[in-house]
Amino acid sequence: MNNTPNQQILEGSRAIALTIKNIGPAVISAYPITPQTHIVEDLAKFKADGQASYEYVRAESEFAAASIVAGASAAGVRAYSATSSQGLLLMAEVIYNIAGMRLPIVMTCANRSISAPINIWNDQQDVMTIRDAGWILLFAENHQEAVSEHIMAFKIAEKLKIPVMVNVDGFIMTHTYEPVTIPSAEQIKKYLPDYLPAAGQYLDPANPVTLGALATPAHYMEFRQELHEDLTASLKTIEQEYKNYNKIFNLPTPLSRGGAGGLDNGLVEYVGPKNPDTILVAMGSVVGTIKEVVSPLIRGRSRGGVGILKIKCFRPFPAEQILKIIKPAKNVAVIDKSISLGHLGTLASEIKAAAQGKTNANISSFIVGLGGRDITKEIIKKIIKQAGKKTDRAQFIGK
């Protein structure tokens, strides 16, 4: 980054908490749940120690926490929350209301499996339960990407009046330590100015408005269509804000590409040959493991071999960008840490639907890491070997 302090070795939760403190929302409310707890513990301590000026509002549940930040945002101030797993499910009613009322809230989801059976470890099944709620859903591979995505999330949310959720893999990112640079409050402000909502977009006795009013059948569909169209159109804003952010902060570059092709636009990141035989597609921290396996195979190659496609933005779904990348490939192996029970991996089903009739690539669904199961290099190598086999079923790859 330009003119930033030296890197620190920080726990992922600490890095996120420091970033939120430097962003300076007016109201924070959250309820502790593993593995999100360290984030809000740090934020509460910053407030208690006099290091932050935001209001930290304690809540009796995740449902209440979501309601508190919804009320704060409706009153016209910047608001933040964080949750995980069953906590996100408990928030679900409010999550839909936040999007429907166009409240620009930012939330961190420390992704964790959902019950039953009870499991506190990482996969991405929690966020997939609300993927159609109307939020922008971003996924981070590592600590530095999580820091950047949170800063951009506030800018995108406040610009579009659409809430943004930043997803980080629980424990794998929240409880591990990596080198990371945290921009100062002054540096962040160059990119993200103070939040000043326009008149009519928040509750004001001097300018009365109604948020979340009853909509009859004659009008409800138009409200949903408007949110859908604005969410779809936000792809351009996300891509542009990624460029704007890079003008101020030099983000770490993706894997060294050598003679291979590459793309990184804030929506997707591709590293590999321009015409690969196989492309591995994934979201979140598992991409780091995939890079460890694939990077020696792609240096200097322009054809054949294996490429890596990382999805940074799941909603809105960047179908056009994905199709451009996977079209030349013979095989596309989609690696999911979630399962749409009775169907396929969630990301795989989206890609298959988008690619229908537009590519001849063999698209396969691989399920890994549910409930925190280790995803080893051997598993990634096994997926590469099986990518050429045609099947319409989800393939669970374990030990």
Of residues 99 and 295, more confidence is placed in 99
CA atoms within 13 Å, Cβ hemisphere of 339: 16
Q: Check if the beta carbon of residue 315 is closer than 8 Å to that of residue 164.
A: no
pLDDT band at 296 (very low <50, low <70, confident <90, very high): confident
Average pLDDT value for residue range 294-314: 83
Residue 132: the pLDDT is: 98
Which of 272, 277, 330 lies closest to 297, judged by CA?
A: 272
9-35 pLDDT, tens digit each: 999 999 999 999 999 999 999 999 999
Dihedral of CA atoms 351, 314, 66, 168 in degrees, nearest 10, equals 110
Q: In this predicted model, what pLDDT tens digit does every residue of 236-276 receive, in sequence order? A: 999 999 999 999 997 655 544 444 568 999 999 999 998 89
Q: What is the pLDDT of residue 46?
A: 98
* Tokens 């920080």, located at residue: 10
Model pLDDT for residues 124-158, shown as the tens digit of each residue: 999 999 999 999 999 999 999 999 999 999 999 99
Q: Does 261-396 match 8-248 at the fold level?
A: yes
Which residues on neighbouring strands pair with residue 107, listed in sequence order? 81, 165
Domain ranges of the chain: 8-248, 261-396
Interval 318-351: pLDDT, tens:
999 999 999 999 999 999 999 999 999 999 999 9
CATH of domain 8-248: 3.40.50.970
pTM given for the model:
0.96
Asked if the bond preceding 117 is cis, omega within 30° of 0, the reply is yes
Which of 103-107, 136-140, 255-259, 285-289 comes out lowest in average pLDDT?
A: 255-259
Round to whole Å and give the CA distance between 146 and 167: 8
- Tell me how far apart the alpha carbons of residues 320 and 351 are, in angstroms, rounded to a whole number: 10
Average confidence score pLDDT of the chain:
94
Q: Give pLDDT, residue 274.
A: 87
pLDDT of amino acid 299 = 63
pLDDT for 298 beyond 80? no
Greater confidence (25 vs 302) lies with 25
pLDDT at 5 over 80: no
Give the residue among 55, 288, 57, 257 at the shortest CA–CA distance from 169: 288
Is residue 303 scored above 80 in pLDDT?
no
Chain center to CA of 190? 23
The CATH fold assigned to 261-396 is Rossmann fold (3.40.50)
235 pLDDT higher than 70: yes
| Share above pLDDT 70 across residues of the chain, in percent, rounded to a whole number | 94
Span 90-99, mean pLDDT?
Answer: 98
Q: How far apart are CA 125 and CA 127, in angstroms?
A: 6
Joined together, the tokens standing for residue 288 give 């780091």
Residues 6 or more apart whose CB falls under 8 angstroms from that of 240 comprise: none
pLDDT category at 2 given cuts 50, 70, 90 is: very low
Q: What is the pLDDT of residue 262?
A: 80
Question: Quick one: angle between helices 12-23 and 143-160, nearest 10?
Answer: 30
pLDDT score, position 255: 46
* pLDDT value of residue 250: 79
Show Cβ contacts of residue 378 under 8 Å, excluding neighbours closer than 6 positions: none
Half-sphere exposure of 326 (CA within 13 A, CB side): 31
**Would the pLDDT of 81 be above 60?**
yes
